Structure 1
Amino acid sequence: MKVAQIVPRLPPYTDGVGDYAVRLAGQLLKAHQINTQFIIFKPGPKNSSELEYFPIAKLSEHTTQALLEAIPQDINNIILHYSNYPYLQNKWDAPFWLVDGLRAIKQQYSVKLIVMFHELPTLKWRHFKVLNPIQAIASRRLAEIADTVMTDSSNFKKHLAKWTQSDVPCIPDFSTIGEPETVVPLHMRDRRLIVFGGHDRQRVYKNHLPTLLQTCQALGIEEVCDIGATLDLDASRFGNVRLVQKGFQSAEAVQHLMSTSFAGLMDYTPFPGDLGKSSVFAAFCAHGLLPVCTTYNPSEADGIYANQQYLVAGKQLEDFRLAQLQAIATQAHTWYSHHSLAKNTDVFASYLHHPI
């Protein structure tokens, strides 16, 4: 079986959806003998004609005809990784050409279409978030023409289920930097706290630095290790806690740091109820770190509870003993094990093999 995975970008460009698709492709081939052809919507000069032995087709322009020309004729299925904005020409655009192109491909080649909604288009006004009315029409039409609709967000699931009038599988994200073979207990780890991700890490230091330092004191953290695009942080603001700014690191290097560190801290305040769709949170859980969030995040719909799978940062962490901290890290790792790369890939494979 051969599947076309449609993505916005692929490595070496930084893109969480692209990283997700590459890991998925590898596991589909390894465990299910399903091969992948990638189609990139936003190719860059660093993208070659293949990645990890998977061929890559690059879309020449955002039109129905260009999509038809890019789709190989020998595919059996299509997985569209949809995150809305990369498929737009501008912020007021809506990708109706994508809907028309996929509909035409389904008719011409009789292939199955799986749409994985990593994002839905939203508009934000003050503290309120609503679906973008024009772009949501395109999203809804994609859901309606798909043979299978999936998402990694319980929040998105509500809209998608309403649009499709059917149950929508919701699978929290796996770690896109890989998974360790073994997990070391907290008492054997360095008292290091990891802050990892994109430029949104800046929120941790801009809005929550006092809370971060209180957390370090409460947990006996000696070092804060910042991983990602350089933020030019001022080490003098961290007091007695050593700041190490690693910059961009390979997945293997990040894995090693996470496997030997005590805790991981993140700010997911702009995304209430969506911890399950954070690949950073997934990486913390997969590597046995103690996950810490700057604030409470109501993600119970995904099975994530404060003081069970993560802790809220602050001075109050002084009240937790090592055994309690280990129990939380263990529960987080157990939660992750139910939607690891292998488990999530099994879900995709089951729908790929299911007849239309």
Structure 2
Amino acid sequence: MKELLNSTLKAGVNFMKIVQIVPRLPPHTDGVGDYSIQLASQLLNAHGIATQFLVFQQGIEIEPLVAGFPATSISAYTPEAFLSVLPGNIDGIILHYSNYPYLQGKIDAPFWLPTALAMAVRQRNIKLIVMFHELPFFNFKKLKFLNPIQSFVSRRLAKIATTVVTDSARFQAVLERWLQHPVTCIPDFSTIGEPDDRIPPLSDRSRRIIVFGGSDRSRVYQNYLKALLYSCQALGIEEICDIGKSLNLQPSDFPGVRLVQMGFQPAEAVRQLLLNSLAGFIDYSRFPGDLGKSSVFAAFCAHGLVPICSCYNPSEADGLEMHKHYLVPDRSLQNLSLTQLQTVANNSNIWYKNHNIIQNTKVFASYLLE
């Protein structure tokens, strides 16, 4: 990526320069950071928009170049400190906002951030896109309601933004209520990348099921191990491949199926495993209605696997229907033919292509370039 930037400069090509504000960047684990790097690469390659990253979290070491893009951090949480590190020659800002990484305490909120961004937009005459990856909901038993302190900041960010984008239809409804005008919603893409070549049919794949992601995937084994094993039995799965930070799983807990613990793997290796596996298993029960936000689910769809969710997730507003785009470990699972499984894999892949990395990036580029 650095070479592409340098060659563009030497060729005298003019391109737009923006800042993407993120909580963290690799090697620090962060889904939003992974999302922003993929977005930055596609913005540069397809639209000539160059990114510089501004990292919010203090106390972590940031390399001056991350994936070939310049990166710096905020020295203090004040408007003055923010403006002092904001490059002067930029045309826009993309704020990736998920309130939790921007908090210092549970009842805290970054009240200074909207003020700083409003000053930047006014003084520099630049565009501000706020991408809401989360909204600050409280969960109490089966009730969900907005955190009044943190939602004050989210509402202010929405109101000062030139454009608001989100990846959840549930969040979209709240944001449109706040703003009284339409808000763009586009589900997440696969942050480990997408297949370069033809997606092989299920008939050419190994009888393998993939479980991967961050440490949150431990919920699969803690809460849904029986469902996972049932899925393997119903689909004739011979191997469970676990990818990610070691969870020290015991093979004796997986009777009738081979457990392979891969640990961390580079993105290319994960993509190849996905392309040669029948199904992927995910627990997203903590986020009902938000299946379209899961980059793991997106990766399953992008690579043509059969997505299996631990339970029904009411995400129809994002275009996802149970038994059409994903399956659950119920009795119907054992009665499905390979042709029917292929139909589910095809449906989920078609759903994904409507918001893959190319389509996502077009949305951001259109608002930056208009």
TM-score tier by shorter-chain length is: over 0.9
Structure 1 match to 2:10:
none
Inter-partner Cα distance in structure 1 for 2:99 and 2:38: 21
Q: How does 1:96-135 map to 2 (within 5 A)?
A: 96-135=111-150
Structure 1 match to 2:34:
19
- Unaligned 5+ runs, structure 1: none
- 2:224 alignment partner, SS class: helix
Structure 1 match to 2:221:
205
Deviations 1:166-190 (A, max 9, x none): 1001000000000002211001001
Structure 1 match to 2:24:
9
Q: How does 1:1-356 map to 2 (within 5 A)?
A: 1-42=16-57, 45-181=60-196, 182-354=198-370
Per the normalisation by structure 2, the TM-score is: 0.94
Q: 1:305 offset after TM fit, Å?
A: 0.5
Inter-partner Cα distance in structure 2 for 1:284 and 1:277: 13
Deviations 1:82-138 (A, max 9, x none): 001111111111111111100110111011100000011121212222111100000
Q: 1:52 offset after TM fit, Å?
A: 2.4
- 1:143 alignment partner, SS class: helix
Amino acid in structure 1 at the alignment position of 2:316: E
Amino acid in structure 1 at the alignment position of 2:352: Y
Inter-partner Cα distance in structure 1 for 2:66 and 2:223: 38
Is the Cα–Cα contact under 8 Å of residues 211 and 315 in structure 1 kept in the other structure?
no
Is the Cα–Cα contact under 8 Å of residues 9 and 43 in structure 1 kept in the other structure?
no
Worse-matched range after superposition: 123-132 or 293-302: 123-132
- 2:211 alignment partner, SS class: strand
Q: 1:43 offset after TM fit, Å?
A: 5.2
Per the normalisation by structure 1, the TM-score is: 0.98
Inter-partner Cα distance in structure 1 for 2:283 and 2:259: 18
Inter-partner Cα distance in structure 2 for 1:122 and 1:129: 6
- Unaligned 5+ runs, structure 2: 1-15
- 1:311 alignment partner, SS class: coil
Inter-partner Cα distance in structure 1 for 2:60 and 2:79: 23
Inter-partner Cα distance in structure 2 for 1:209 and 1:73: 53
Amino acid in structure 2 at the alignment position of 1:27: Q
Corresponding residue pairs, total: 354
Q: 1:265 offset after TM fit, Å?
A: 0.4
- 1:13 alignment partner, SS class: coil
Q: 1:315 offset after TM fit, Å?
A: 4.0
Is the Cα–Cα contact under 8 Å of residues 214 and 315 in structure 1 kept in the other structure?
no
Inter-partner Cα distance in structure 2 for 1:254 and 1:44: 30
Inter-partner Cα distance in structure 2 for 1:117 and 1:256: 31
Is the Cα–Cα contact under 8 Å of residues 291 and 311 in structure 1 kept in the other structure?
yes
Q: 1:53 offset after TM fit, Å?
A: 2.2
Inter-partner Cα distance in structure 1 for 2:259 and 2:113: 45
Is the Cα–Cα contact under 8 Å of residues 284 and 291 in structure 1 kept in the other structure?
yes
Amino acid in structure 2 at the alignment position of 1:163: W
Is the Cα–Cα contact under 8 Å of residues 2 and 75 in structure 1 kept in the other structure?
yes
Is the Cα–Cα contact under 8 Å of residues 115 and 143 in structure 1 kept in the other structure?
yes
Is the Cα–Cα contact under 8 Å of residues 307 and 327 in structure 2 kept in the other structure?
yes
Amino acid in structure 1 at the alignment position of 2:174: H
Is the Cα–Cα contact under 8 Å of residues 174 and 283 in structure 1 kept in the other structure?
yes
Cα-Cα RMSD: 1.0
Q: 1:203 offset after TM fit, Å?
A: 1.2
Is the Cα–Cα contact under 8 Å of residues 188 and 294 in structure 2 kept in the other structure?
yes
Inter-partner Cα distance in structure 2 for 1:202 and 1:140: 34
Deviations 1:306-340 (A, max 9, x none): 11111012343111000000011011101100100
Is the Cα–Cα contact under 8 Å of residues 218 and 316 in structure 1 kept in the other structure?
no
Is the Cα–Cα contact under 8 Å of residues 41 and 87 in structure 1 kept in the other structure?
yes
Is the Cα–Cα contact under 8 Å of residues 62 and 72 in structure 2 kept in the other structure?
no
Inter-partner Cα distance in structure 1 for 2:256 and 2:330: 17
- 2:184 alignment partner, SS class: coil
